[in-house]
Amino acid sequence: MNQIKTLDVPIITKLTELFKVNYNLIIKFPKFSKNIMGERILNEINNILELIFETTIATKYEKQKFLLKAQAKNEMLKILIRICHQNNLIEQKQYLEIEDILQETGKMISGWLKYERNK
Please give the C-alpha separations between residue 26 and each of 4, 23, 41, 88, in angstroms, as whole numbers.
30, 5, 9, 12
- Asked whether residue 82 carries a pLDDT value surpassing 60, the answer given is yes
Write the pLDDT tens digit of every residue in 17-52. 999 999 999 999 999 999 999 999 999 999 999 999
92 vs 103: CA distance, rounded Å:
16
Which has the closest alpha carbon to 9: 74, 53, 51? Answer: 53
pLDDT at 4: 44
CATH of the domain at 105: 1.20.1440.60
Domain span including residue 19: 2-118
At residue 1 the predicted structure's pLDDT band, cuts being 50, 70 and 90, is very low
pLDDT at 9 over 90: no
Question: What is the count of structural domains for the chain?
Answer: 1
